A and B are shown apart, each in its own frame.
Chain A
Amino acid sequence: KNQVEQSPQSLIILEGKNCTLQCNYTVSPFSNLRWYKQDTGRGPVSLTIMTFSENTKSNGRYTATLDADTKQSSLHITASQLSDSASYICVVSAREYGNKLVFGAGTILRVKS
């Protein structure tokens, strides 16, 4: 069964600190891996998208890494801000199933001052 597992489930950090969120997947073969940010009560917004041949991609203070061999991805947030408080969702596109998206449950990040 194609799955996407994220850890930790939730995380609390102090403003200005860095953090790293993890994503392990079993989807294979896959077309791409995406990270979304979802504010409470809102729709997800795309942060990064990587194909299987890419190792890293940055979007401002967000940097995603991908190891296709171990089927792991991480999202690193640098110098966190209060506005980073949100759920971060890892999504893998399953090539075998017409690029169907398989969603992780998300990591809830809370940044406090």
Chain B
Amino acid sequence: DGGITQSPKYLFRKEGQNVTLSCEQNLNHDAMYWYRQDPGQGLRLIYYSQIVNDFQKGDIAEGYSVSREKKESFPLTVTSAQKNPTAFYLCASSMGVGVEQYFGPGTRLTVT
């Protein structure tokens, strides 16, 4: 069963704690992306990776970090430096940059 999985679906953390969101794909896609979605706004790009061991900052990378040690995995860490971390986080993947992106089911992070 091919696709993108994100876990967990809901995540709750206390302010000041780092938290890592998981994203795994078995589509053999080279490129992976992390987006943040807030009510009334379009998706905003946090980080993207075109190939293993390489990643680039998106429009709102401050307070986030990523790694790409394996082709299938692109975890996102929300650090305590992120001022407004509560949001819906979406991971996506594609064969390459500029082609169709396939999205995971998302993780809703709530920080109190």
Contacts and interface: CB of A to CB of B under 8 A. Distances in A.
A4 B97 CA distance: 20
B105 interface: yes
A99 interface: yes
Nearest to B10: A41
Contact of B45 (A45, A100, A106): A100
Contact of B41 (A44, A46, A93, A105): A105
Interface in A28-70: 31, 41-46, 49
B36 to A, nearest CB: 11
B2 interface: no
A71 B84 CA distance: 34
B75 interface: no
A103 B108 CA distance: 19
B96 to A, nearest CB: 9
A45 B103 contact: yes
Contacts, number: 43
A43 B104 contact: yes
Query: In the complex, which range does the number of interface residues on chain A fall in?
Result: 20 to 34
A98 B42 CA distance: 19
B106 to A, nearest CB: 5
Contacts of A43: 4, 90, 92, 103-106
Interface in A96-113: 98-106
Contacts of A9: 40
A89 interface: yes
B2 to A, nearest CB: 14
B55 to A, nearest CB: 14
27 contacts: A4-B42, A31-B98, A41-B88, A41-B106, A42-B106, A43-B4, A43-B92, A43-B103, A43-B106, A44-B43, A44-B90, A44-B103, A45-B103, A46-B102, A49-B100, A89-B42, A89-B43, A93-B98, A98-B97, A99-B98, A100-B45, A103-B42, A103-B43, A103-B44, A105-B40, A105-B42, A106-B42
